[in-house]
Structure formats: structure tokens, C-alpha cells
Amino acid sequence: MFSRSAILQEAMVDTGTSQSELSRVSGVRQSSISQFLSDRTNLSDEQLDRLLSCMGYRLEVVRRSVAAELTRSEERSWLLHRRLSRHLTRSSLESWRPQVERNLRRLREGVTGQPHLRNLDRWSSLIARSDLPHLHRALTGLDRESIEMREVSPFGGILAQDERAAVLRKAG
């Protein structure tokens, strides 16, 4: 995987384009191009594509799926919350609401520090607004924020015990 600066450098070498010439044809200051090339300033895909087009190139971004690297605990939590997400509808959220709100109160009494308190506020807000898309994201997301939100999940006791056990058996 090449860095953006390496891709820009390679195109400049291939076309014999100097920083000052690229600056003239692109309208981007030479000092900015120098900073891009030395990785002192971040170069977005859009900026890189614009600079490459001035040299007759275009940016091709290749995307592929990659299995998430989670700790055992994070994976178990994700699997359980993913199962909850399968059941999450406006109707199910309403039926779960009393238990979820009790869990939120209990968690607030026992949790201190960040990001836990902030994440409890996020859960409270999402649940109060019945924000299903963002609740699904928090339940199944693999970004650091979602993982940390699940550390103080108010959804304990929602899954039936046999369903929870089946998920945990599958997790190994």
C-alpha cells in the first residue's frame, strides 16, 4: 500500500514534473506541494486526484473487506450486541425501554470516568430519541467509539438466556 505522498512523488518522477511546474498548472502553492511530499501536511484523496490529473493521471482507490481484529472480550460483546440488533425495531425498543432505563440508572451509579460517562449520555440520547439507525450502529459498529459504547451497554438482560448462551457457544 503506497502512501499518498509516494503516489504523488511517483507520478511526478514518471512525468518529469517539478514541484514548481505542478504548482503552476494546478494552482496549488509550491510550499503546499512540498509539505504533501514530505508528509508534513495530510493530502486527501480529492487533493491527490486533482494534482495527479494535472499530470495526466487519476487516482484509483481499491477497497476490500478485512476481518476486524477484536480482543476476545470485544468479539463476544460484538456478537451479543449484533444478535440484539437483529431484534431491534421501534416496537421492540419500546418493550425493552423499562429494562434499558433501569440498566442506564444502575450503570450511572457504578461508572466513573471517560469515555464511559460520555457513552452513557450517548446511549441515553439515542434511546430517548428512538434513533434506530444510530442504535444499530452502536450495537454492531467496529469503530473504537462503538466498541467503547458497548463497554457500558444498557442492553444487559434483554436477550433470552438460551439465545445468549447460543451466541456465547458460537463465540467459543
In tens, the pLDDT along 3-37 reads 999 999 999 999 999 999 999 999 999 999 999 99
Predicted confidence at residue 170, as pLDDT, reads 86
Q: What is the mean pLDDT of residues 38-48?
A: 92
Residue intervals of the chain classified under CATH 1.10.260 are 4-53
Q: How far apart are CA 104 and CA 121, in angstroms?
A: 9
Structural class in CATH, domain 4-53: mainly alpha
Other CB atoms within 10 A of residue 101 CB: 14
Mean pLDDT taken over the chain? 94
Q: What is the mean pLDDT of residues 44-61?
A: 94
Q: How far apart are CA 162 and CA 159, in angstroms?
A: 8
Query: With b meaning 16 or more CB within 10 Å and e meaning fewer, what string describes 113-130?
Result: eeebeebbebbbebbeee
pLDDT digits (tens, 9 = 90+) for 117-160: 999 999 999 999 999 999 999 999 999 999 999 999 999 999 99
Predicted confidence at residue 63, as pLDDT, reads 82
Q: What is the mean pLDDT of residues 89-103?
A: 97
pLDDT over 70 percentage in the chain: 99
Residue 147 to residues 14, 30, 40, 82: CA-CA distances in angstroms? 44, 42, 31, 12
Closest CA relative to residue 155, chosen from 98, 113, 74: 98
